[in-house]
A and B are shown apart, each in its own frame.
Chain A
Amino acid sequence: MGTEELLVIRIAGDPYAVRAREMSGLTPGGRIVPVPGPLPELLGITAIKGGLVPAFSLGALLGYPQARELPSWLLLCGGDQDRVALGVERFDRYTRVPRADISVADDLRDRPHVPELARTEAGICGVIDIRSVLEAITRRIAGAGRQKE
């Protein structure tokens, strides 16, 4: 069956996990400069590996209320051209779980972008579909652009 490598994080105290293969990196949350934009989930821009990267609040994208504090960690997603940073409050661990411990999440259908649940060492946590999150960002940005035009 194989294994799945997960980064266990916490959003508003709730445990979540993202697949390592959907990420491009992990970096501590640095200075984020707020910029005007169409999405309220956009925290601003930050400098990572010599380039400016937009930083979004992953909690806000999952439907949580906007946190007052800046994120402690930034999950890097996408390639070099469309790299996006998703800010989270806390990074717990990097873990590896059997794929059999990942199942469809029937109880979290009201929470967007969380289709599965994973059984980890810290307990059961929702597995965030980063690709769905990035697509949603893209759609909303596109929608905001069309709306602007």
Chain B
Amino acid sequence: MTRSWSFGQKVGLGFGAVVGLAIVIGALGIYALRTVTASKDQVITTNARDLVEARNLIAAVERKSAAGRGFLLTGDDRFVETMRAARSEIGAAIARLKATVNTDASRRLVEDAERGEAEHQVALDRVVEARKNTPTLESLTRLFDAQVLPKREALDQTLGAFDDREERLMAEATRAASSTASFTIMLMFVIVLAAVVLASAIAVVLTRTVARQIGAAVHHVQSSSTELQTAANQQAAGAKEQATGMNEISTTISELLATSRQIAESAQRVAHIAEDTAGAARAGDQTVQKSQESVGGVKRQVDLIVTHMLDLGRKSQQIGNILEIVNELADQTNILAINASIEAAGANDAGKRFGVVADEIRKLADRVGGSTKEIRTLVDEVRSAVNTTVMATESGMKAADTGIREYADVTLSFRQIADLVATTTEAAREIELSTKQQASAVEQVNVAVAGMARATKETETSSRQTLQTASQLATLSSELTRLIRPNGGA
């Protein structure tokens, strides 16, 4: 699993490592300094003190011995007091040495010194008593040499050994402290050198890592700035087209507003016209009702005419029937006359006079036949005229009926027109109201579009600024690339 470290984390980690190294170096330095200090303190506080206490002990022994000899020589009691004070110092020194020495050999030497000093004091006390009882110096000298001096030599030897030992211990402790200090200095040098190497390695790794990371980020920034430039260009072009479109929309909305107002005025006029039309429709309805009544009267008159004409037709039919009889009679007369003429022609001269009569009869029959034909023609014309008239009147009746029905339809249509005109009036008013509302809405839309146009212009301006910023960002990324990669290109 690869963890992605941020720039700050890496820098922080580097500084943390360096600070850690500094802390380690500081801790080691403190530890070494404390070690050296402890060594020196050991030398100063223990060895030097023990050596000083040993010298003090030797000096106190010397003062006690000098006080003893002084008393032996003078017999003055002040020397006894001095001797006692020196002995107190000796006891105190031995007590301190017992508390401070830390080796068995030194402790045995202190105990030997304490025992030797006690034996010396016992010997010295016997000599002091002797001094009080034996006033001669010679006897005192012998006694002193025999009893005190060996004890003194043994004590001096013990104290000398202790002093030598303490001095040797002090020299050894001093060498050990110097050695510790030298080791500490060497160790600190090595640690500092290692810390410098490690810090340099961390610096190099951190520099390379951060440079690579910053380079990648700068590359991304350059790529992004290029895309941002492209997007800003497109956005600027789009904003420009949008601004043009918004201007066109604004113009169109203005025209729409004018049209809406015209529609509202037209709707108002339509409402007035519809009211006038409703009045005209009501008047037309009344007129149609009157016309319907008039047409009803015409229909009744036409019914009467048809009745009379049908009567005339029937009578013409009767005349035709009678005329058929007359014509038949004339034909028969004609045939009889023709036959009479034939008979007269067959009789030659005998039938000539009969033939003349038959001829006259035939002519009369022809005339009757011609007259009946004319009458038939006239009757036929009359019947045809009657039929035409009847048909025309029937057509007129049908037309009148149709007219009445159409008048009814017209009346209904006028009423429907009146209703529809009322509806139209209402609709025209609603259209007027709606158109006014529409005009108000269009005005609001126009205001909104104007705001959008301003926003579009601002967007265009912002796009240009974005483009400029993207260009500056590209320049900055190039400069940053040059900063982190002086020899490499971006």
> How many pairs of A and B residues are in contact by the CB < 8 Å rule?
35
With the chains together, A96 CA to B356 CA distance in Å?
12
Q: Mark B392-403, 1 if CB is under 8 A from A, else 0.
A: 000000000000
- Quick one: which of B299-350 are within 8 Å of A by CB? 335, 337-339, 341-343, 345-346, 348
Asked whether, in the complex, the Cβ of A24 is within 8 Å of the Cβ of B341, the reply is no
Q: From the candidates B338, B343, B346, B348, name the one contacting A94 in the complex (CB within 8 A).
A: B338
Chain A count of residues within 8 A CB distance of the other chain = 13
Closest chain-B Cβ to A83's Cβ sits at a distance in Å of: 13
Q: From the candidates B339, B346, B362, name the one contacting A21 in the complex (CB within 8 A).
A: B346
Residues of A within 8 A of B341 (CB): 5, 20, 94
Query: Closest residue to B346 on the A side, CB-wise?
Result: A21
Closest chain-B Cβ to A87's Cβ sits at a distance in Å of: 16
With the chains together, A23 CA to B345 CA distance in Å?
9
Query: Closest residue to A26 on the B side, CB-wise?
Result: B338
Q: Mark A1-31, 1 if CB is under 8 A from B, else 0.
A: 0000101000000000001110111111000
Residues of A within 8 A of B359 (CB): 96
Residues of A within 8 A of B339 (CB): 25-27
Query: Closest residue to B351 on the A side, CB-wise?
Result: A21
Residues of A within 8 A of B338 (CB): 7, 26, 94
- Quick one: which of B247-281 are within 8 Å of A by CB? none
- Most chain B CB within 10 A, of A23, A94, A96, is at A94
Residues of B within 8 A of A7 (CB): 338, 342
Query: Closest residue to A5 on the B side, CB-wise?
Result: B345
With the chains together, A124 CA to B342 CA distance in Å?
22
With the chains together, A23 CA to B348 CA distance in Å?
13
Residues of B within 8 A of A5 (CB): 341, 345, 355
Asked whether, in the complex, the Cβ of B335 is within 8 Å of the Cβ of A21, the reply is no
Residues of B within 8 A of A27 (CB): 335, 339
Closest chain-B Cβ to A115's Cβ sits at a distance in Å of: 19
Residues of B within 8 A of A19 (CB): 345
Asked whether, in the complex, the Cβ of B335 is within 8 Å of the Cβ of A28, the reply is yes
Query: Closest residue to B362 on the A side, CB-wise?
Result: A94
Closest chain-B Cβ to A118's Cβ sits at a distance in Å of: 15
Q: Contacts A5-B341, A7-B338, A94-B341: A24 and B346 contacting too (C-beta < 8 A)?
A: yes
Closest chain-A Cβ to B441's Cβ sits at a distance in Å of: 92
- Most chain A CB within 10 A, of B335, B342, B345, is at B342
Asked whether, in the complex, the Cβ of B335 is within 8 Å of the Cβ of A20, the reply is no
- Most chain B CB within 10 A, of A24, A25, A27, is at A25
Residues of A within 8 A of B337 (CB): 94
Asked whether, in the complex, the Cβ of B342 is within 8 Å of the Cβ of A23, the reply is yes
Closest chain-A Cβ to B457's Cβ sits at a distance in Å of: 106
Closest chain-A Cβ to B100's Cβ sits at a distance in Å of: 186
Residues of B within 8 A of A20 (CB): 341-342, 345-346
Closest chain-A Cβ to B7's Cβ sits at a distance in Å of: 131
Residues of B within 8 A of A26 (CB): 335, 338-339, 342
Closest chain-A Cβ to B134's Cβ sits at a distance in Å of: 228
- Quick one: which of A15-55 are within 8 Å of B by CB? 19-21, 23-28
Query: Closest residue to B331 on the A side, CB-wise?
Result: A28
With the chains together, A25 CA to B359 CA distance in Å?
15
Residues of B within 8 A of A25 (CB): 339, 342-343
With the chains together, A78 CA to B348 CA distance in Å?
16
Closest chain-B Cβ to A23's Cβ sits at a distance in Å of: 5
Residues of A within 8 A of B362 (CB): 94
Closest chain-A Cβ to B404's Cβ sits at a distance in Å of: 52
Closest chain-A Cβ to B476's Cβ sits at a distance in Å of: 125
- Most chain A CB within 10 A, of B337, B338, B359, is at B338
With the chains together, A26 CA to B359 CA distance in Å?
15
Closest chain-B Cβ to A97's Cβ sits at a distance in Å of: 13
Residues of B within 8 A of A21 (CB): 342, 345-346, 348
Closest chain-A Cβ to B414's Cβ sits at a distance in Å of: 65
With the chains together, A25 CA to B348 CA distance in Å?
15
Closest chain-B Cβ to A6's Cβ sits at a distance in Å of: 10
Closest chain-B Cβ to A76's Cβ sits at a distance in Å of: 8
With the chains together, A28 CA to B332 CA distance in Å?
9
Asked whether, in the complex, the Cβ of B335 is within 8 Å of the Cβ of A24, the reply is no
Residues of B within 8 A of A28 (CB): 335
Residues of A within 8 A of B343 (CB): 24-25
Closest chain-B Cβ to A111's Cβ sits at a distance in Å of: 24
Asked whether, in the complex, the Cβ of A23 is within 8 Å of the Cβ of B346, the reply is yes
Residues of A within 8 A of B345 (CB): 5, 19-21, 23
With the chains together, A21 CA to B355 CA distance in Å?
11
Closest chain-A Cβ to B60's Cβ sits at a distance in Å of: 202
Closest chain-B Cβ to A123's Cβ sits at a distance in Å of: 19
With the chains together, A21 CA to B345 CA distance in Å?
5
Q: Mark A57-101, 1 if CB is under 8 A from B, else 0.
A: 000000000000000000000000000000000000010100000
With the chains together, A26 CA to B338 CA distance in Å?
7
Closest chain-A Cβ to B443's Cβ sits at a distance in Å of: 96
Closest chain-A Cβ to B345's Cβ sits at a distance in Å of: 4
Closest chain-A Cβ to B467's Cβ sits at a distance in Å of: 112
With the chains together, A96 CA to B362 CA distance in Å?
13
Closest chain-B Cβ to A21's Cβ sits at a distance in Å of: 4
With the chains together, A144 CA to B309 CA distance in Å?
65
With the chains together, A96 CA to B355 CA distance in Å?
12
With the chains together, A5 CA to B356 CA distance in Å?
12
Can you name 16 A-B pairs with beta carbons within 8 Å? A5-B341, A5-B355, A7-B338, A20-B342, A21-B345, A21-B348, A23-B342, A24-B343, A25-B339, A25-B343, A26-B335, A26-B338, A27-B339, A94-B337, A94-B338, A96-B359
Beyond A24-B346, A27-B335, A94-B337, 7 extra complex contacts between A and B, CB < 8 Å: A5-B345, A5-B355, A20-B345, A24-B343, A25-B339, A26-B339, A94-B338
Shortest Cβ-Cβ A-B pairs, 5 listed = A20-B345, A21-B345, A25-B339, A20-B342, A23-B342
